[in-house]
């Protein structure tokens, strides 16, 4: 057995490269990333899907790092949407700050487990500090808590499950619960309800006005009617920046109705939450401090890499009731009197130290450039809207609340819906800029989502040229 152990040890030690090997690996990876970043300003935002290459097997033998990086370049980085590009304005990305990648590197090397305070006090304190900062930004009280999640979907799930526990409803009454939202609410909310066992809950889709905001003129009447029918008003959802249009719902008015009727009030601020770093958005989002839960996505308007979300929650008791469990093998753990364990407030037990990817750039740069970038993106959306509106035949959506704007071309003859379908395809096939589209109440719109920190005026001017160029070709 001893000889077998020694033989296995010799092979297993290959997993720990020596200093020279580590240096060479690091150098090649850094060179690869530097080349990628240096090419971004002139690189396409979208690449047509390449022919799939066989990746369905692993080998017992090693592959050289240069071959692996070559494969990454041709089959991953230059395939599909280039999410790091300033030309990516199709969905709501953030771009991926370079120091965040360094934070992930440091977190992976140290391999700290940030889910519980005892094994990694410094990591737990760091993540809780970030939660406290976000709570302060949203106007939540000092005793509010939260969790760094993988994104808005898990954040919405945590919010729904916590609301379910706070309501103390039994399974036999789940079909009596009523959720109030608009048809512009993110679909992850409906998904969260289903996962939380509330698929039988009744959804009340409130109308939106001409500016795509939730119209709450009938909300109180609907709640009273539901109560009179023996139903249980359960959850009101407001959006601080819808994914479709970037619209801010009337948060303060919705908060007042929720408080009056003791209904859980949730604000999905995944896209727009960090715009509250700007005074004018704080003014437009009064009442958010009255929410019970808030969803945020630092990988959107804080420009961090994908996989960085957050949920903020006032009711720690109900949060614990939904998520806190223990086990015999954890009997050695000593809880902190002042710090919340991330594993106690989330479905995740095993979680990586994702706080480092957020903490490092915020500390390294300070808040000022983040604030400037957010204001710049808002102004760029307004600039694009003003410029495209000057072009004959183009129709624009209402003035954007944040940094998403929409437009469409209405031809003198023919079907506008079909024309804009062809127009968005032509823009995407071009590849220099990536946009996406949406249909709202039967009308086809092309979306311009300006959220990547690398998107500046030169990209918007390029987009304007491309739109006019493709429109002219389609009109021939």
- Burial class from Cβ neighbours inside 10 Å (0-12, 13-18, 19+) for residue 325 reads exposed
What are 203-227's pLDDT values in tens digits? Answer: 999 999 888 999 999 999 999 999 9
Structure tokens at 151: 């994104």
What average pLDDT does the structure give for the chain? 94
Question: Is 94 a residue whose pLDDT tops 90?
Answer: no
Say what the pLDDT of residue 58 is.
87
DSSP one-letter code for 298: H
Task: Give the model confidence (pLDDT) of 412-470 as tens digits.
Answer: 998 999 999 999 999 999 999 999 999 998 999 999 999 999 999 999 999 999 999 99
pLDDT(475) > 90: no
Reported as a pLDDT band with limits 50, 70 and 90, residue 265 is: very high
Confidence band, pLDDT 50/70/90 cuts, at residue 68: very high
* Distant-in-sequence, close-in-space partners of 7: CB < 8 Å, separation ≥ 6: none
pTM of the model: 0.95
Question: What is the model's pLDDT at position 51?
Answer: 67
Which secondary-structure segment (H or E) carries 35?
A: helix 19-39
Residue 151 has pLDDT above 80, yes or no: yes
Of 316, 297, 315, whose CA–CA distance to 307 is shortest? 297
The tokens for 340 are: 């919340």
Sequence spans of domains, the chain: 105-365
Rounded to an integer, what distance in angstroms lies between the CA atom of residue 323 and that of residue 162?
9
Could you give the angle at the alpha carbon of 93 between the alpha carbons of 417 and 87, nearest 5°?
A: 70
Distance CA(247)–CA(452), nearest Å, equals: 18
Helix H or strand E segment including 101: helix 98-110
Architecture of 105-365 per CATH? 3-Layer(aba) Sandwich (3.40)
In this structure, is the dihedral angle defined by the CA atoms of residues 248, 253, 256 and 257, taken in order, positive or negative?
negative
Q: In whole angstroms, how large is the CA radius of gyration of the chain?
A: 25
* Mean per-residue pLDDT, 384-395: 97
Residue 6 DSSP SS3: helix
Nearest-angstrom CA–CA distance, 77 and 154: 27
C-alpha atoms less than 13 angstroms from C-alpha of 13 in its C-beta half-sphere? 7
Structure confidence by residue, pLDDT tens digits, 306-357: 999 999 999 999 999 999 988 777 777 777 677 899 989 999 988 889 999 9
Helices (H), 111-181: 121-137, 152-167
Taking residues 256-279, what's their average pLDDT?
A: 97
Cβ atoms within 10 Å, residue 108: 12
Query: Any idea what the Cα angle at residue 168 is, between residues 262 and 137, rounded to 5°?
Result: 55
Give pLDDT tens digits for 102-138. 999 999 999 999 999 888 999 999 999 999 999 999 9
**Are 176 and 232 in contact, with CB atoms under 8 Å apart?**
yes
Query: Per-residue pLDDT tens for 359-383?
Result: 999 999 999 999 999 999 999 999 9
3-state secondary structure of 211: coil
């Amino acid at each position: 057995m001893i000889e077998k152990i020694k033989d296995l040890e010799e092979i297993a030690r290959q997993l720990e490269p020596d200093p020279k090997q580590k240096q060479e690996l690091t150098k090649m990876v850094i060179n690869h990333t530097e080349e990628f970043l240096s090419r971004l300003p002139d690189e396409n935002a979208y690449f047509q899907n390449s022919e799939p290459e066989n990746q369905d097997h692993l080998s017992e033998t090693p592959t050289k790092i240069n071959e692996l990086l070559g494969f990454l370049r041709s089959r991953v980085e230059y395939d599909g949407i280039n999410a790091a590009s300033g030309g990516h304005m199709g969905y709501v990305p953030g771009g991926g700050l370079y120091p965040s990648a360094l934070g992930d590197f440091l977190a992976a090397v140290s391999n700290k487990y940030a889910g519980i305070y005892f094994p990694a006090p410094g990591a737990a304190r760091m993540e809780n500090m970030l939660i406290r900062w976000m709570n302060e930004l949203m106007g939540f009280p000092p005793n509010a808590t939260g969790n760094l999640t993988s994104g808005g979907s898990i954040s919405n799930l945590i919010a729904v499950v916590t609301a379910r526990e706070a309501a103390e409803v039994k399974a036999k009454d789940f079909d009596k619960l009523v959720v109030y939202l608009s048809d512009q609410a993110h679909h992850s909310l409906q998904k969260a309800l289903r996962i939380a066992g509330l698929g039988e809950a009744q959804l009340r889709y409130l109308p939106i006005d001409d500016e795509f905001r939730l119209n709450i003129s009938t909300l109180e009447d609907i709640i009273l009617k539901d109560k009179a029918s023996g139903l249980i008003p359960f959850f009101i959802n407001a959006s601080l920046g819808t994914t479709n249009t970037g619209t801010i719902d009337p948060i303060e008015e919705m908060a007042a109705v929720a408080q009056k009727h003791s209904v859980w009030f949730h604000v999905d601020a995944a896209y727009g939450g960090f715009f509250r770093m700007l005074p004018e958005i704080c003014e437009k989002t009064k009442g958010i401090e009255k929410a019970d839960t808030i969803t945020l996505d630092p990988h959107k308007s804080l420009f961090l890499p994908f996989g960085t979300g957050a949920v903020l929650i006032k009711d720690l008791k109900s949060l614990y009731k939904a998520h806190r469990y223990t086990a015999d093998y954890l009997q050695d753990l000593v809880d902190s009197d002042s710090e919340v364990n991330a594993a106690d407030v989330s479905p995740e037990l095993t979680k990586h130290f994702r706080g480092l990817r957020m903490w490092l750039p915020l500390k390294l740069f300070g808040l000022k450039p983040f604030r400037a970038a957010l204001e710049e993106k808002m102004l760029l959306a307004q600039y694009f809207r003003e410029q495209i509106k000057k072009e004959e035949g183009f129709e624009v959506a209402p003035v954007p609340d944040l940094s998403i704007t929409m437009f469409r071309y209405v031809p003198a003859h023919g079907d506008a819906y079909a024309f804009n379908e062809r127009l968005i395809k032509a823009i995407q096939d071009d590849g220099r800029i990536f946009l996406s589209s949406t249909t709202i109440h039967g009308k086809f719109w092309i979306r311009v989502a300006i959220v990547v920190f690398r998107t500046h005026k030169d990209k918007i001017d390029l987009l304007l040229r491309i739109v006019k160029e493709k429109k002219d070709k389609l009109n021939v």
